[in-house]
Structures are given as C-alpha cells and as structure tokens.
Amino acid sequence: MKKINDVPIWLVLFFNLLIAFGFYWQQKKATVLDLSSDLANIIPICKKIDDPSLFSKDLFLADVQDVKYYTPVYVETLRFIAKIVDNNYIKALNILGSITHFIFGILWYLVFTKIYRFSWIAFFMSILVRGIVWPPGGELLGISELWTIMPRTLFQAILPLPFLVYVYTKKKQHILAFLVLGLISNFHPISGIGAFIMYWSLYIGYSFLEEKRNTKEIIYKSILISFFFTIGILPFITNYFININNNLIKIDKQLFTAAFLTRIPEIFINPLQFILQWNRKVFWFFLFSFFLFVFLDQSRKKKISKILFFTIIMLFLVSNSIYYIEGFINQIAGMNLRMAFQFIRFQKIILIILEISLGFLLVELIERFKLKSFYQMMSLFCFIFLLLFSHISLISRLPLIGDDLGKSILPKKFMLNIKDTNYKKSDLLTVIEYIKIHTSKDELIYGHFLIRAGADRSVYLDSKGAGMLIEGNPMKFIKWYNDYEQFNRLKSREQLDFLKQKKVKYIVSKEKYSLKMLKKTNTYKLYKL
C-alpha cells in the first residue's frame, strides 16, 4: 500500500478552523436552555467553587464535598476559561467547544493518515467521526453543538494522543503512550478505562499477529503499561476515593437499590438488557461495513480485521462483566463499590472501532478499483455537499447523511434550507431570568433543574441533581428518595404543605395553584409559597 500525501495541510487546518468558528458563531447567543443535563450539573459545581455562599440549600450542592469526586480536571478547565470572560459560563463553554472542535478534527486526521495512508480517506473519516451517534445507555460519540461539549467529548477529541505519541517517539513508546492515556483519562475516567481496554487489546493483537512476540514478553509489557496508565490516571483515582462516601452500613441495601432504580434505568445494572440496546440502525450499518471489510481484507492473513475483531470482543466482554466482578468484590470484602453502572457504558468504544473499520473498508475499495486521488477528492467534496443539504427531504433519507450523524457535523449556519437556531426567550428562560433578578440567592425553589444553572438558586427534589448524590453522598441520596416518594403520594394541597415544611419559598410549575403568582408565561408560572 503506497502512502499518498496529497491533501494540502492548509485545507485540513482551514476546514477545522471553519467548523470551530462556525459553531462558535452559531452559539454566541446560546442560553442555559442549550445545555445538556450533565452540563446543567457541572456549571453549578463550578459556580459553587467560585462562590461557596451559593446553593446553600441545594439538593446536591449545599455541601461542595458531595461533588468533589466529579471530574475535577474538566471543572477546573472550564473555570479557568470562565475567569477570562467575567465568569460567564455559557460563553466559556462556547470557547471551550471551539477549541475542542479544532483539536478533534486535527488529531483524528493525524491518526487516520497513519493508519490508512490515503490522506483523502483520512480527511473524510476525520469529518465523519464528528457526527453524533448514540451508543446504548444514553451515551454519545461525536461533537456538535454546545450541549455536546461534555467531559466525554473532550476525551474523545484527545483520544488519538496516545497513538500519536507511540508513532512519533522512538524510545519507550508503550510506556509514554499509556502514561499519556492515563493523563487524558482524567477528563473522563469512564471513557478512559474503555480506551485503555481498546489500546491494550490493539497492542495484544498486534504483538501476537504482527510482531510474533512471546507470551511472557506480552504479559510483562501488559503489566508495565497498566502501571503507567494507573500513574497517569492517579489524580482522579485519589480524588475519587478520598471524596466519595462509601459508608452504607446504616442503609438498607434494598432501599438503596430502589432509590437507585428511581434515578438510573435498570439496564445499567443488567448487562443482558444493556446489550439489547445495541439494536439500532447506526450500529447495524457499521457492523455490516465491518464484516464487509473482513471479507475484503487483503492484509496478510487478514491480520488487520483480526486485530479489530479481537478488540471489539474484549471491549464487549470486559464492559459487561464488570457488574458481576463488582458484586463479587462487594460481597467478599464487605464494600459498596458503585461504579459498574458507569463502566458498562464504555462499550461505546466499540463504535469507534467500527468507524475505524469503515475507513479500512474504503481503503480496500480504493485499491481494488484503483481509484485515483482526484476521484477520492471529488467523493469527499460530494459528501460535504450532501451534508450542506442534509435537512432537505430527499437527501435526509440517505443512510448516515439524514441521520443525526450527518446532520450534526456542520454548524446550522452553514447548512442550506434550514431555519437558523431561534434564541428568542422561551417561557422557561423568562422565568429563570426573573428568579435571578428578583429573589435572594439563599432561597430554595421547587421546579425545573435548569433553575440551578441559570438563576444560581438552590433547587429541591429534582431527579437530575439527585443522580450526583449516588456516589457523592448515598445517605443524602436515600433522603432524597424518601422525600420524593412521600411527595408523590400526596395530594396537591398536601404537597404544598410538604414543600413549606422543607422551607421551599418558590414554585415553578405548569400547574395552577391558589398561591401568589409572581410571574406568568404561556407555559410556566412562578408562585411564592
């Protein structure tokens, strides 16, 4: 396979700068309503650290100790940028998103040029992997609008770094690569563990099939790279185990499980149910392309497809077995580890391997049909052209192009026949802004979880916030569950009395109450209790 370097580097840089600027420009007027639920929890954490007097009565932020375990590297990165823009966290997130967009495209392009050697294919794949795909468990891969700029997205953007370190260093490549992997895993440790399994499996497969190394040497190096990966991720490990509350001696485990299932779907603690969630179109498309590549693979003894297949199997087995391993450890050691429901999600990395295999399939097709560089270039430009019109009825029916994957790659500002993002005030935003101006920062509010991030006010009884307590403070999590269950059993008038007892001063609701109304919109009403 001859190496073809015919994509001008300026074109790659310009395209990724254009994408980064496009999303930044599109989201200059973004509001709290454009946040994902994860970001709606992260931004208040940042604000609490900035000003400890905020959220004094909040469900999960009253004591900052309850959230210190949560991805501190991402939190501190966002706080650093926010200081530059007068603590405007929406603007800071937009800046972070632009930087991430640029890094994402460049690093994945560099990796793909090394593994495919056809630079137009590398360029195409670096664009394709930007598209949003939905693995099981509410996970996502890819990068798009503001709501996607989460810790997991930053991690995916820099995931190529260990491979690039391995390729461009001459000594101790394995050690340095896995040390770097450990360091970047501090951005999103769940994804980091999955990435470790991926890189380790690729190393094992390559060592056996390509380098013909003996078993003892592979075991020795596996221990070595595991050690250096652990050193890299040690800041998170130390912070996590220092700050989580692992004492559940006083809690009925059945009660904790009932509370857990109120907040987290059962599939997260049932690997068989989780596996069934893979039944989705985008997975079947990439799986089909993988098996087609296996059939066409011309590498010696099909070593490339074998290595990729081994990696997929390892990711699948490890991620789905952690739940049983954790249960065994808890039973034997009398512990209460609560991480398996998180780690089962890292099997999303399987989709990254399947996306990579699509690139290998394209390489095989190019070599079989002897497709010249000009036609590769034109195919790429046709792909981008289709993305520009991906919202048109006819084109939106095409596989990938019309799915979330195709529609999420380009900023809406660049796409044709699509309405621009409407940043006019919604009813909820109107109420949130009123609360921020007309209420004291010490007040407790019952209502939408975005009030916390948008108005800087304490929120009571919301399930989004409760999820932060599962690991941070399980005792408070149980208290939330008991209150939540009791509240939902009460009639409307009794619910108001219950909220008064909990010192709630304001209610944001779509319902009508016989209370003093401070603000009314078409949808939401703000009451004083």
Confidence of residue 332 (pLDDT cuts 50, 70, 90): confident
The pLDDT of residue 249: 53
Query: Which of 58, 61, 57, 81 minimizes the C-alpha distance to 70?
Result: 61
Query: Could you report the per-residue pLDDT of 13-41, keeping only the tens digit for each?
Result: 999 999 999 999 999 999 999 999 999 99
The pLDDT of residue 186: 97
Contact present, 352 and 290 (Cβ < 8 Å): no
Q: 444 - beta bridge partners? A: 458
The pLDDT of residue 44: 98
Confidence of residue 418 (pLDDT cuts 50, 70, 90): low
Query: Could you report the per-residue pLDDT of 426-480, keeping only the tens digit for each?
Result: 899 999 999 999 999 999 999 999 999 999 999 999 999 999 999 889 999 999 9
| Strand, helix or coil for residue 29 | coil
Which long-range contacts link 336-342 to residues 24+ away (Cβ below 8 Å)?
336/246, 336/247, 336/248, 336/253, 336/474, 337/246, 338/470, 338/471, 338/474, 339/471, 340/269, 341/260, 341/264, 341/268, 341/269, 342/190
| Strand, helix or coil for residue 421 | coil
Q: What's the longest Cα–Cα distance across the chain?
A: 78
Torsion of CA 267, 41, 145, 193, to 10 degrees: -50
Residue 305 CB neighbours (<10 A): 21
Q: Tell which wins on pLDDT, 516 or 399.
A: 516
Contact present, 89 and 46 (Cβ < 8 Å): yes
Q: Which residues of 147-165 are buried (b: 16+ CB within 10 A; e: fewer)?
A: bbbbbbbbbbbbbbbbbbb
Confidence of residue 491 (pLDDT cuts 50, 70, 90): very high
Average pLDDT, the chain: 93
The pLDDT of residue 419: 64
pLDDT at 103 > cutoff 90 = yes
Sheet hosting strand 444-446, strand order edge to edge: 458-459, 444-446, 506-509, 525-528, 516-520
Supply the pTM of this predicted model.
0.94
Q: How far is CA 340 from CA 74, 158, 187, 269, 437, in A?
A: 22, 24, 19, 7, 42
Q: At what angle do helices 173-184 and 189-209 cross, to 10 degrees?
A: 160
The pLDDT of residue 263: 92
The pLDDT of residue 4: 46
Q: Measured between alpha carbons, how far is 191 from 160 in angstroms, rounded to an integer?
A: 13
The pLDDT of residue 329: 86
**Domain residues of the chain, as ranges?**
1-30+68-157+386-423, 427-528
What ranges in 85-172 are assigned the alpha helix state H?
A: 89-116, 119-128, 151-158, 161-168
Average pLDDT of span 374-401: 88
Average pLDDT of span 60-67: 94
pLDDT at 232 > cutoff 60 = yes
Least trusted range by pLDDT, from 68-72, 341-345, 415-419: 415-419
| Strand, helix or coil for residue 95 | helix
Contact present, 113 and 122 (Cβ < 8 Å): yes
Token reading at 271: 């690997």
Average pLDDT of span 187-205: 97
Q: 520 - beta bridge partners? A: 525
Residue 442 CB neighbours (<10 A): 13
The pLDDT of residue 362: 97
Confidence of residue 211 (pLDDT cuts 50, 70, 90): confident
The pLDDT of residue 246: 62
Burial zone of 17 (CB within 10 Å; 0-12 exposed, 13-18 middle, 19+ buried): middle
Confidence of residue 119 (pLDDT cuts 50, 70, 90): very high
The pLDDT of residue 252: 78
